[in-house]
Amino acid sequence: MFILRPIIRILVTAITVLIISHYIPGIQVENFTGAILFAVVFGVINIVIKPIVKFFALPIRLLTLGLFTFVINALLFMLTSYFIDAVEVDGFLPALYASLIVSIVTVVLNSFLKNK
C-alpha cells in the first residue's frame, strides 16, 4: 500500500490536468504521457520548492490571510509547465484556475486515501 498511494496521486493529478485542459482555455496538454510527467514533476516541485517559497512568503501570506498561497500554487504550476514541453500554460489566470482545481481534487483524494 505504501507504493500505491504515490502512484494513485500521480495518476489522479495527470487525469485532472488532462480534463482541465479541455475546459480551461490557456491550458494545453499534448498527451497522457506528458500529463503523467507533468504530475511527477509537479509533485517533486511541491515537495522541494513549495515549502521554501511558503517560508519566504510568510509575511505576505499573513497579510493576505493565506490567500497568497493560491498565487504560490499558480506560479508553481507555471514553473512545472516551463519544464514539461507537453503541457503549456498561457498565462497566470489559467494557471490559477488549474492549480485551484488540482488542489481541490488533491484534498478530496487525500481524504479518501487517509480513511483506508
The x, y and z cell numbers of residue 43, run together, are 509533485
pTM of the predicted structure, to 2 decimals: 0.91
Burial of 44-57, coded b for 16+ CB within 10 Å and e otherwise, reads ebbeeebeebeeee
Task: Report pLDDT for 2.
Answer: 73
pLDDT tens for the chain, 116 residues: list them: 678 888 999 999 999 999 999 999 999 999 999 999 999 999 999 999 999 999 999 999 999 999 999 999 999 999 999 999 999 999 999 999 999 999 999 999 988 877 65
Length of the chain counted residue by residue: 116
